[in-house]
Chain A
Amino acid sequence: MSFLTSVNSISWLIGGPQGSGVDSAANIFAKTCAKEGFHIFGKREFYSNIKGEHSYFTIRISDKPVNSHLEEINVLVSFDAETLFRHADKVSAGGMIIYDSSLVETVLEEVPTIDFEASNRIRKLLQDSGQSMNLNGMLEFAKSRGCRVYGLPYFEMLETVAQKMNDPKLSKISRVVNVMAISASISLLGIKKDKLINAIQEVFGSKPKLLASNIEAAEYAYSYIGTKYDTKNITYNLTPKDALKDYLLLSGSQAAAIGKIVAGCRFQTYYPITPASDESEFLESNQIIDQVDGKSGSIVVVQTEDEIAAITMAIGASLTGVRTATATSGPGFSLMAEALGWAGMNEVPLVVTMYQRAGPSTGLPTRHEQSDLLFAINAGHGEFPKIVLASGNIEESFYDAIKAFNFAEIFQLPVIHLLDKAISSSIQTCKRFSNDLKIERGEFKNTIDKNQSEGAAGHFQRFKLDDSPISTRVPIGTENAIFWNTGDEHTEEGHISEDPENRNKMMDKRMKKLDLALEKINQDDMAICHDFDSDGKNVVVSWGSTKGAILEALEKLSEEGNKMKFVQIRLLHPFPTETVKNFLKEAKLVIDVEMNYTSQLGSLVQQNTGREVDYKIVKYNGRPISTTELYIALKAILSGNNERRIVLDGGT
């Protein structure tokens, strides 16, 4: 089965040891293709390691928007042995493999970073296909499946480049090998060289020496392919439609960070953790903020001693009136639970951007999962209102970051913005963001007149019991508005109270915000129904980063006449019961798709709507769901598969 939705679409992969420039090479490749007019979706995979372990970057390019990765690879780019051992079997018939021709004798056992389990799998594959246990065997296996292989003598090529540049040292540094590798693939794909050179200029523009050597290496590898290999009958001859006008190429953590800047977040705390730190680092690099009035603003980013400090410092800052956030992942979020309750109790607006990764405990620290949904909803002891909002892709991460702050201030409560590693470190071409969203601050005031202070002792009533659960909120430091906060149950002024009647009133006040949120939040921010002209009988429900793979799989199924609709739930708490019920009204078959073991959304849907999901497609091997495997699973269900729970296991 092939997912080439058009001739102009390929799935490309580069691999190599961590620290060898896989990321920057992939970036250059993505930029080159985007300049040529192709849409991009790129996914990063790496070990929790700094140097040496295998990392890889998959990039899909297409003349139509792409939202997810595929299992199959059309072009495999490598400059080490491990990449071939690990990925060559995924290259589709007719696909192309670029490799280091000096490594063909490398024996599987000689590659120390291939772990025992992977080594066993590869050995079995080579044995079963009667190949030798070295790279040559792997290549022969690929060729037997119809792949074309292109060997490059990187070392000799480096020497030539060094001579051309009159810089003998260059041949010793392998720095430019990554660029030679991608350049060869670009040449094979028939993409114009000048786009590649432009991309290299963008990436290395500020470092003249690196720039020169990379360009020289790229030029050389580009023409080397042309002179060494017959490129006439290349399978993938790509022609872009139009230039991508007003498109960005960025990651989810960048999108969320830029959203925070637009939202007016001016204080962010963090304790380093993958995959959340990228966002804080981006914010810190952009701490001085341009303003439309020509003046400049700024955001203060504080690295704290731990995540408890990160959230409590953020709450302290929020009390001064500034829009405040912290960003973390599961382990850090676990530490934040108690403070989240304090924010709920004291009605403090706060955004926690929660980048999920595979748990429990340290789990698979650099891999993907969506297993913190129920935890996010239930985090903290006792009962208090919070909002949990999940973005489905990179673009949504930007707009949702802004909405998260609006919700936090309108309802005066903590908002958990759920993202995950599949969004944060993937890259995608997105329409340039617009900042025409409004900043809504709810009952926030900067000044209070004297006579508004009317509590028991003539004090301001921060927690006034009124018809509305939302009280006037002022920054600490405001005249005529002295109030108290405490994690204890409290009076309208904020003093400790254990009175049972007051307790009920205050609980009602706080918890009613959840009803109010369901009244006020836009339908599209609660759930979106992507209906593919379906009759609504077969429905996929999901949340978060699975969106891309679902949209693509359903599009393909729809082209084949199997129309299904997709209900993407965005507001996970409070649960938009009515909206979801309505979307599921006609459903004969509800299929829940999630990257976790227990189908957490499935249980939420059942708990809130009473509708049990009929099928569960889950995945928890740390690799995101691909369009390919999801398509196969959905197809199996539609053709009468009787397994109620399908566990996906794709990925390397």
Chain B
Amino acid sequence: MAELKLADYKTTVHNDWCPGCGDFGILNAIQMALSEMQIPRHKAVIFSGIGCSGKTPHFINVYGIHTLHGRVLPFAQGAKIANPDLEIIAVGGDGDGLGIGAGHFVGAGRKNVDIPYLIFNNAVYGLTKGQASPTLRLGEKTKSLVTPNTSNSVNPIALALVSGFTFIARSYSYDVKHLKDTIKRAITHKGLAFVDVLQPCPTYDDIHTREWYQGIDKQETGKAMPRIYKIEETGYDGTIKDESEINEKMTRILQFSSEWGDKIPVGIFYQNELIPSYHERIAENNKEYFAKPPSHQEISDNKNNPIAKIDKILDKLQIKD
């Protein structure tokens, strides 16, 4: 098969994100990951929630399912459980995934279905004009807020960890290469993978701007002090190779997760493939699951007669004199 180029993963749909929006970097990174991995276009499906971020699938030339506000994870899990051969990627906003959809975030963690999930974390509800999102900190006042934020923020990394996600990473939308590599790792991970993508929203978030991440405001040494640092560069490796490492690593990840402000860690905090995926759990009771998942089941013969044979079930319920 001919090699698929980056352009093959792009649609011609008009992109209506604001100029300078961090979402563009995420879109590019997804397309680059798909193209570098040469994932056949028809095998890939992007599921999204609702928000500026929710429009992402329309710009990617693979199957695209733009779902409901907060519900991207159950939609995507349903498809992946029914057909594990598909390469499914779930994306959505921080409001989508950690506000209205937080219950599904936790529920998905418990299941560990084999999909990557990217949250476009911009601290605001972009599409509804800049209200506080669940990741905006208490007391912060972004442009559209009337008063400083009265709710505290949720910690996405910690929440993913305690919910049971088996791959937890963070990246930054303007570091497209790092993000693309992180996405590729998330795709190849066996199990549910979470990528918290820091995404400046130039229109509504005047606090966590590109310049803020670059540390333009921190000129103590005479030049900007970038806030973001890569944990891999500090020698950290988040892979769990043995059960015994888990407790110590969890403590370390919780420390990372609370770092914010002057030092913001990005990279792969955690990867644990020792935990069985939901698919493997199904296969425990249903040996043919991988060979014949729900989408591959035959249900009728060539005359449209049902193929299921219910005699044994009926015999049990039949009256025997």
Chain A positions within 8 Å of B, measured between CB atoms, are 31, 34-37, 195, 198, 202, 243-244, 246-250, 254, 258, 261-264, 266-267, 269, 286-293, 296-300, 302, 304-306, 308-310, 312-324, 338-339, 342, 402, 429, 432-433, 435-441, 457, 475-488, 494-496
Q: Is the CB of B285 within 8 A of A287?
A: yes
Within the complex, which residue of A195, A322, A457 is in contact with B11, where a contact is CB–CB below 8 Å?
A: A457
Query: B83 contacts which chain A residues (CB < 8 A)?
Result: 320-322, 475-477
B75 touches A313 (CB 8 A): yes
The residue of chain A having its C-beta at the shortest distance from the C-beta of B309 within the complex is: A290
Which chain A residue shows the least CB distance to B65?
Answer: A485
Which residues from B are CB-within-8-Å of A249? 317, 319
CA–CA, A495 and B55, complex, Å: 10
- Judge whether B299 is part of the interface by a CB distance below 8 angstroms: yes
How many Å from the CB of B16 to the closest CB on chain A? 9
B residues at A contact (CB < 8 Å): 11-13, 40-43, 45, 47, 50, 55, 57-58, 61-68, 71, 73-83, 85-86, 103-104, 106-107, 110, 282, 285-286, 288-289, 292-295, 297-301, 304-314, 317-321
Q: Are B42 and A267 neighbours in the complex by a CB distance under 8 Å?
A: no
Instruction: List the 8 closest A-B pairs by CB distance, nearest first.
Output: A264-B299, A316-B78, A305-B107, A313-B78, A317-B82, A439-B300, A486-B66, A320-B295
Instruction: Report A328 CB to chain B, min CB distance, Å.
Output: 14
Q: How far is the CB of B69 from chain A (nearest CB, A)?
A: 9
User: Which residue of chain A is the closest to B293 with respect to CB atoms?
Assistant: A300
A487 with B286, Cβ < 8 A, contacts A35-B321, A243-B321, A304-B74 known: no
Residue of B nearest to A448 (CB): B42
Q: Is the CB of A477 within 8 A of B63?
A: yes
Structural contact, A314 and B78, CB atoms closer than 8 A: yes
Q: A258-B310, A433-B314 are in contact. Are A308 and B63 (CB under 8 A)?
A: no
Check B106–A305 contact: CB distance below 8 A: yes
Residues of A within 8 A of B106 (CB): 305
Which residues of chain A are within 8 angstroms of B294 by Cβ–Cβ distance?
266-267, 298-300, 317, 320, 322, 324
Docked Cα-Cα span, A297 to B73, in Å, equals 27
- Is there an interface contact between A440 and B304, defined as CB atoms closer than 8 Å? yes
Q: Are A312 and B74 in contact (CB under 8 A)?
A: yes
A266 to chain B, nearest CB (A): 4
- A324–B292 alpha-carbon span in the complex (Å): 16
With A300-B294, A304-B74, A482-B62 already in contact, the answer to whether A476 and B79 are too (CB < 8 A) is: yes
| B318 with A246: CB separation less than 8 A | yes
* Least CB separation from B77: chain A residue: A313
- Which residue on chain B has the smallest CB distance to residue A265? B299
Q: B106: shortest Cβ distance to chain A, in Å?
A: 7
A287 to B68, CA, bound (A): 30
A305-B82 contact, Cβ under 8 Å, with A258-B314, A484-B65: no
With most chain A CB atoms within 10 A of its CB, the pick from B77, B78, B110 is B78
Known A-B contacts A435-B310, A486-B66; the reply to A322 vs B42 at CB < 8 A is no
CB nearest neighbor in A for B83 = A320
Q: Are B63 and A37 in contact (CB under 8 A)?
A: no
- CB–CB A342/B67 < 8 A: yes
Tell me whether B319 and A35 are in contact (CB under 8 A).
yes
Q: Which residues in A have their C-beta under 8 angstroms from that of B292?
A: 297-298
The residue in A35, A322, A440 that gathers the most chain B C-beta atoms within 10 A of its C-beta is A322
Q: List 28 A-B contacts (CB under 8 A).
A: A36-B321, A248-B314, A261-B308, A264-B306, A266-B294, A289-B309, A291-B307, A292-B307, A292-B309, A297-B297, A298-B289, A302-B78, A305-B107, A305-B110, A308-B74, A312-B74, A316-B79, A317-B81, A317-B295, A318-B78, A321-B83, A342-B68, A429-B319, A432-B318, A440-B304, A441-B300, A485-B67, A495-B13
Residues of A within 8 A of B78 (CB): 267, 269, 302, 312-319, 324
Chain A residues lying within 8 Å of B295, measured Cβ to Cβ, are 317, 320-322, 475, 477
Which residues of A are found within 8 Å of B81, using beta-carbon distances? 267, 300, 302, 313, 317
Task: Give chain A residues whose Cβ lies under 8 Å from the Cβ of B47.
Answer: 316
For residue B100, which residue of chain A has the nearest CB? A308
| Residue in B40, B74, B285 whose CB lies within 8 Å of A309 | B74
- Docked CA distance A433–B319 (Å): 13
- Give chain A residues whose Cβ lies under 8 Å from the Cβ of B314: 248, 258, 432-433
With A248-B318, A290-B310 already in contact, the answer to whether A481 and B42 are too (CB < 8 A) is yes
Q: Is the CB of A495 within 8 A of B58?
A: yes
Cα–Cα, bound, A317→B294 (Å): 8
Q: Name the distance in Å between B160's Cβ and chain A's nearest Cβ.
A: 15
Q: Does B305 lie within 8 Å of A477, measured CB to CB?
A: no
Determine which of A315, A316, A475, A488 lies in contact with B66 in the assembled complex, contact meaning CB atoms within 8 Å.
A488
Instruction: Tell me whether B307 and A483 are in contact (CB under 8 A).
Output: no
Are A487 and B79 in contact (CB-based, < 8 A)? no
Q: When the two chains form their complex, are residues A250 and B317 in contact, meaning their CB atoms are under 8 A apart?
A: yes
Docked-complex contact B307 and A312, CB < 8 angstroms: no
Point out the residues of chain B lying under 8 angstroms from A262, CB to CB: 306, 308, 310
Given that A309-B104, A435-B308, A475-B83 are known contacts, is A484 also in contact with B63, CB under 8 Å in the complex? yes
What CA separation (Å) do A310 and B78 show in the bound complex? Answer: 9
> Which of chain A's residues have a CB closer than 8 A to the CB of B64?
483-485, 494
* Contact A322 B50, CB 8 Å, known A479-B42, A487-B66: no
Known: A248-B318, A287-B285, A320-B294. 6 other contacts (CB 8 A): A289-B308, A297-B292, A312-B74, A435-B306, A439-B304, A477-B83
B residues near A34, Cβ cutoff 8 Å: 319
